[in-house]
């Protein structure tokens, strides 16, 4: 009889501790994803070949935002969607692109991460025969004359960008590594700090592409 009671007590204890551990895991995971990290699945091809469609990454919410960092951001043009892009220009930077080279504050920046893309050719609908890394020629000044920008910014903001060629205050100029197809700051404007969720630190899926950043 005692053995039976002891077995029931042991089962109850195991069940109780399992429930407590499960609740603790759920709470910790919620707090981590709410305040510390962002888990995200890459959707689309705009960051190829650096990141492929359906790969999974973790971003840290409290990282300092630096040039060339890959970030997760709330899509300004698609409610509830997120984009993964690379920071090119910081607030107040001048940005000019010419012949696939980008000049920030008058100096050519290192874009060695684009080299694999120059070996790959687009075969997408509407994008054929271009290299993934083809960036096009533009500047903040020239973008401020485009229809896309006129939908985003006020006349005063556009005039300031045309005058200074600078990334707006508290905003970041971002591009996808698959430059020829990426919808990025060339079309959706510079990204306000409030829309940046975090800096990518880990690619954890697929396992054979596990990487730290």
Query: Where are any strands of DSSP class E within 42-195?
Result: 56-60, 70-74, 82-89, 95-98, 101-104, 107-108, 121-124, 127-131, 138-139, 171-175, 191-192
Maximum alpha-carbon separation in the chain: 89
Cα→Cα distances 30→60, 195, 205, Å? 14, 20, 20
Catalytic center residues? 46, 85
Instruction: Give the DSSP per-residue string, 86-105.
Output: EEEE-TT-BEEEETTEEEET
Cα end-to-end span (Å), the chain: 60
Q: What is the DSSP letter of 107?
A: E
Among the listed residues 191, 168, 187, 184, the one whose alpha carbon sits nearest the alpha carbon of residue 93: 168
């Amino acid at each position: 009889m005692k053995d039976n009671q002891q077995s029931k007590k042991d089962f109850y204890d195991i069940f109780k501790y399992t429930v407590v551990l499960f609740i603790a895991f759920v709470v910790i995971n919620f707090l981590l994803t709410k305040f510390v990290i962002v888990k995200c699945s890459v959707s689309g091809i705009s960051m190829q070949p650096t990141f492929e469609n359906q790969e999974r990454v973790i971003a840290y919410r409290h990282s300092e935002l630096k040039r060339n960092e890959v970030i997760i951001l709330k899509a300004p043009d698609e409610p509830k969607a997120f984009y993964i892009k690379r920071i090119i220009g910081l607030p107040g930077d001048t940005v000019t692109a010419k012949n696939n080279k980008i000049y920030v504050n008058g100096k050519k920046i290192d874009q060695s991460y684009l080299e694999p893309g120059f070996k790959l050719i687009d075969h997408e609908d509407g994008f054929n025969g271009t290299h993934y890394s083809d960036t096009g020629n533009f500047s903040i000044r020239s973008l401020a004359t485009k229809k896309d920008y006129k939908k985003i910014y006020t006349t005063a903001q556009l005039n300031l960008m045309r005058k200074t060629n600078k990334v707006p205050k508290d905003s970041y100029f971002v591009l996808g590594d698959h430059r020829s197809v990426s919808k990025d700051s060339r079309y959706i404007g510079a990204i306000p700090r409030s829309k940046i969720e975090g800096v990518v630190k880990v690619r954890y899926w697929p396992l054979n592409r596990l990487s730290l950043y």
